[in-house]
Amino acid sequence: MLAFFASLFLIGAQDPALLEPFEVQGFNTTITVEIDAPRDVVFEAATGDVTGWWDHSFWPDPAEMVIEPQIGGRFYERFEAGSDNGTLHARVIFVRAPEQLRLHGPLGLSGRAVDLVTSWTLTEGETPDTTLFRIDLAMMGDIDAELAGVVRSVWVHFIEARLKTYVEAGCHLEPEQACAAFAD
């Protein structure tokens, strides 16, 4: 059996056209957004069923998008109700509700050779009942500065344009309803 795998290795090594090398790069970035709501409210709105505010998906109209705020929890997208078809965006590798959550997974970069750790830190803001939502992104792999910038800008969009708006408009109080703040 070992000889079989060794012969496969030698075949691949003899034909460099079969390989597509890429340069491994790494990037770190931080985003901080102030949200006019208490930290526990923001954390609860940012986890669980996030379909109401998370607007990037692999499926045109996914049945659900869920971040399970527990050790080993999943951030997943289910394509159709009752189906096992979908995608696992990330795993929860650290949680200390409502202060911190850490995700490990490719998120929208599924299918690329990347390692992405997304860390959320929620602290009380300078004024009562406000929250500073900080995201630290650590990316490594088949990613360049342009793609890292896109990932950063998408997270700014998620937290500043979507989650902040969702919570401040009170949409988190009726998550089954479409958020009027996002109406075109």
Least confident of 14-28, 39-53, 101-115: 14-28
Q: What percent of the chain has pLDDT over 90?
A: 76
- Has residue 180 been placed in a domain? no
Domain ranges, residue 78: 25-174
pTM (2 d.p.): 0.87
Contacting residues for 46 by C-beta, under 8 A, at least 6 apart: 67, 101, 120, 133, 163
R_g of the chain, CA atoms, integer Å: 20
The DSSP result for 108-127, as a single string, is: GGTTSSEEEEEEEEEEE-SS
Q: Residue 152 is part of a domain; what is its CATH number?
A: 3.30.530.20
Q: What is the mean pLDDT of the chain?
A: 91
- Has residue 54 been placed in a domain? yes
- Has residue 128 been placed in a domain? yes
Asked whether the predicted pLDDT for residue 11 surpasses 70, the reply is no
pLDDT score, position 12: 54
Which of 15-24, 57-66, 165-174: highest mean pLDDT?
A: 165-174
- Has residue 153 been placed in a domain? yes
- Has residue 13 been placed in a domain? no
Q: How many domains does the chain have?
A: 1
Q: For the residues 117-145, what does the mean pLDDT come to?
A: 95
pLDDT score, position 39: 97
- Has residue 6 been placed in a domain? no
Q: For the residues 133-154, what does the mean pLDDT come to?
A: 94
Q: How many other CB atoms are found less than 10 A from the CB of residue 134?
A: 16
Asked whether the predicted pLDDT for residue 46 surpasses 60, the reply is yes
Asked whether the predicted pLDDT for residue 7 surpasses 60, the reply is no
Q: For the residues 8-23, what does the mean pLDDT come to?
A: 70
pLDDT score, position 1: 62
- Has residue 113 been placed in a domain? yes
pLDDT score, position 17: 76
The burial of 85, by beta-carbon neighbours within 10 Å (0-12 exposed, 13-18 middle, 19 or more buried), is given as exposed
Order of strands, sheet of 114-124, starting from the edge strand that comes earlier in the sequence: 25-35, 131-141, 114-124, 100-104, 86-96, 74-78, 64-67, 48-49
Least confident of 2-6, 31-35, 168-172: 2-6
- Has residue 82 been placed in a domain? yes
